[in-house]
Structure 1
Amino acid sequence: MQLPDSPKIPKFMQLVQWIYQPLQLMENSAKAHGDCFTLWLTNKQPMVFLSHPQAIQQLFTDNLSNLDSRGSAQILQPLLGENSLILLSGTSHQRQRKLLTPPFHGERMKAYGSIIANITKEVVNQWKIGQPFSVRNSMQEISLKVILQAVFGLHEGERYVQLQKLLRSILDLSGSALRSSISFFPGLQIDLGPWSPWGNFLRQRQQIDQLLYAEIQECRDNPDPSRSDILSLMMSARDENGEPMTDIELRDELMILLVAGHETTASALTWALYWIHRIPQVREKLLAELDSCSSNADLDEITRLPYLTAVCQETLRIYPIAMITIPRIVKSPIKIMDHQFEPGTLLLGCIYLTHRRPDLYSEPRQFKPERFLENQYSLYEYLPFGGSNRRCLGMAFALFEMKLVLATLLSHIDLTLVNNYPVKPIRRGVTLAPSGGKWLIAKGTR
Structure 2
Amino acid sequence: MYDWANSVYPLVITSSIFPIYWGAVTKDINPTDIVDFLGFKVPGSSLLTYAISAAFLLIALVSPFLTSLADFSGRKKLFLQFFCYLGAAACAGLYFFTKDTLTVSTFVFILATVGFSGSIVFYNSYLPDISSEEKYDSLSARGFSMGYIGSVLLLVLCLVLIEGHEMFGLAKGHATRLSFLLTGLWWVGFAQIPFFTLPADPGRPAGAVTEGGWLLNGFRELGKVWAQLNQLPNLKRFLLAYFTYNMGVQTVMYVATIFGDKVLNLESKELIITILLLQLVGILGAYLFAKLSDRIGNTRALSWAVFIWMLICIGGYFVQKGWSFFALASIIGLTMGAIQSLSRSTYSKIIPENTPNTAAFFSFFDVTEKLSIVIGTAVFGIIAQLTGSMRNSILSLIVFFILGLGFLLTLRGKKLREATGPSEATVPGPPPASATASTPATPK
TM-score, scaled to structure 1:
0.30
TM-score, scaled to structure 2:
0.30
Between structures 1 and 2, the one with greater strand share = 1
